[in-house]
Amino acid sequence: MLTTGGAMVLKNPQLQSEAVTDAYRAGRLRQEYRAPQAMTGRVAGYLLAALGLPVGAVGAMLADKQPRSLTPTPTPHPDDQGRLVITGDDLQAELQTRIADLLYANDWLRACLKSNAVIICGDMGSGKTTIAAAIALLRELLWGWETAILDPHADDNLETWLNGRVFGAESLASKTPDYQIADAWGQYRQRSQAHRSLVLDEFSSWGVGGEKSVLGSLTPDVMKHGTADARKFLHHVIYLVHGEENGMLGGTHVNSGWQVKLKTKAVGIRLVADYDDWGEPKFTGKAEFKPAGKDWTDANFQPFAIPGLLKPGALKAQLGTALEWLEIGIDSDPCGEQLLDPKLKQAIEAELTQSFDDPALIQRLENIAQGPVIGHPIDGTAASEPMVDWQVVKGRPDAVALVAYLKRKKMAEVDPRKLQQNWGRNQGLKAEDIQELLDLLTAIGAGHWLTDASAQPKIWELRISPDHLPDL
Q: What's the rounded Cα separation, in Å, for the pair 194 and 55? A: 49
Strand partners, 78: 84
278 and 399 share a domain? Answer: no
Local confidence pLDDT in tens for the 472 residues of the chain: 556 555 554 554 444 556 667 766 766 666 666 666 655 655 555 565 566 555 554 444 444 567 888 888 887 878 788 788 788 888 889 999 999 999 999 999 999 999 999 999 998 888 999 999 999 999 999 999 999 999 999 999 999 999 999 999 988 888 899 999 999 999 998 998 999 999 999 998 898 888 888 999 999 999 989 888 999 999 999 999 988 887 788 788 888 888 899 999 999 999 988 888 888 878 899 999 999 999 999 999 999 999 999 998 999 999 988 999 899 998 878 887 765 555 565 666 777 676 666 676 666 666 555 544 444 544 444 445 667 878 888 888 888 888 888 888 888 888 888 888 888 888 888 888 888 888 888 888 888 887 665 666 678 888 888 888 888 7
Q: Is residue 259 part of a domain?
A: yes
Answer yes or no: is 79 within a domain. no
Element (H, E) at 118: strand 117-121
Distance of alpha carbon 283 from its chain centroid, rounded?
Answer: 17
Q: Which helix (H) or strand (E) holds 141?
A: helix 128-143
- CB-based contacts of 294, cutoff 8 Å, min separation 6: 264, 268, 300
One domain for residues 17 and 108: no
Q: Quick check: is 224 in a domain?
A: yes
Pick from 284, 287, 304, 288: nearest CA to 296 = 288
Q: Is residue 84 part of a domain?
A: no
In this prediction, residue 375 carries a pLDDT of 45
**Residue 338 pLDDT:** 63
First-to-final CA distance of the chain: 65
Q: What sections of 245-358 are H helices per DSSP?
A: 256-265, 314-325, 342-356
Q: Is the pTM of this model over 0.75?
A: no
Q: Distance between CA 94 and CA 100 in Å, rounded?
A: 10
Residue 380 confidence (pLDDT): 47
> For residue 448, is it within any domain?
yes
> Is the peptide bond between 457 and the residue preceding it cis, with omega within 30 degrees of 0?
yes
What φ, ψ does residue 434 adopt, rounded to 5°?
Answer: -60, -45
pLDDT computed for residue 12 by the predictor: 47
Last residue of a domain, one of 304, 331, 358: 331
Are residues 291 and 362 part of one domain? no
Q: Which secondary-structure segment (H or E) carries 365?
A: helix 359-370
Check whether residue 10 and residue 140 sit in a common domain.
no
The DSSP letter of residue 229 is: I
Calpha distance 148→170 (Å, rounded): 16
**One-letter identity of residue 305:** A
Q: Please give the pLDDT value at position 75.
A: 79
Q: How many domains does the chain have?
A: 3
